[in-house]
Structure 1
């Protein structure tokens, strides 16, 4: 069962070292909206490095050919009595939240509900996430939001194999992260 608790270690993988997260630099259109994303799995953070590097090269932030990134470790210290919502499973509510943040015109009531939270936690899918979710929001599995389309999409995402992610959406949430250390990781060729 997913939960966020005091003293929990969380990891963030990036093309650059991140000691002090900045919400202004966080991308929109991610699973739980704009925010600073972390995971309890160092392995998951390492896997994200390649994606982060590709995006940074495309955005002109780094030179092509960089073959290393950084995994930062943070400790969660709940000092602000934040509002936290955790999706314990990859279920219909989780799917609608992810779809709503990726395509604003669907499930606007979900976005409004989730905007009230400082932190949102839940499952993160594997590398097929983008293709499956794009197909879902395009209606390829049936009417978006229908039980059949939802069930089919969730089965495609293999929820039993999904790691976790925590989106820190507010300054109050970021204030609860204490930087511990950063490790440079070289990508295998």
Structure 2
């Protein structure tokens, strides 16, 4: 069992996937990470961007043993910044639809650097190689792993807890 955190400007009582934003690293979904400080930093950024609410860290427990057991849950894990990870992020970042371009319920992998948009444009325009893109997208910080829950089946595995 692990605790995962989501930084926001509101308390999230019920996760609503229809509120997910397009063009994110792993697609439209609910994003969390295991580092409370990173979630807190995200809460502050979200509050400043939205100019409403207050910085709030929402916490959820997740039985990660399900990731090691056979199930009908579709899970993709990226262990590091690789060409496969970069291609996956590019595919999702280019998707302007709320319809997923991949079959996964849960995706776990590295967080892309906040300047991802600029770096992707540089790559698409041929200014940098895929290897340089990967290095540019490498998050500068500790515990740079994000957990994407993209289906209701996956969301149902999260249990809200109080901090």
Into which bin does the TM-score normalised by the smaller protein fall?
A: 0.7 to 0.9
The one of 73, 90, 95 aligned to 1:99? 90
Partner of 1:176: 157
Total equivalences in the alignment: 154
Q: Report the alpha carbon displacement of residue 130 of structure 1 after superposing the two structures with TM.
A: 3.4
Look at both structures and tell me which one has the larger radius of gyration over its CA atoms.
1
CA-CA distance at 1:47 after TM superposition:
1.4
Q: Normalization by structure 1: what TM-score? A: 0.72
Deviation by residue 1:98-143 (Cα, 9 ceiling, x = unmatched): 11111139xxxxx74xx211001100033333332332234331xx
1:17·1:69 contact (CA, 8 Å) conserved in 2? no
Conservation of the 8 A alpha-carbon contact between 1:15 and 1:70: yes
Q: Residue 25 of structure 2 contacts residue 112 of structure 2 at CA under 8 Å; is this kept in 1?
A: no
1:136 aligns with 2:123: yes
Q: Which residue of 2 aligns with 1:4?
A: none
| 1:86 and 2:72 are equivalent in the alignment | no
Distance 2:3 2:23 in 1: 25
Q: CA RMSD in A?
A: 2.4
Give the structure 2 partner of residue 108 of structure 1: none
Residue aligned with 1:9, SS: strand
Q: Assess if the C-alpha contact under 8 Å between 1:9 and 1:74 holds in 2.
A: yes
- Partner Cα distance (1:33, 1:155) in 2: 21
Q: Which runs of 5+ in 1 are unaligned?
A: 1-6, 106-110, 142-148, 183-189
After superposition, the Cα gap between the structure-2 partners of 1:156 and 1:33, relative to the gap in structure 1 and judged at 3 Å, is same
TM-score, reference length from structure 2: 0.83
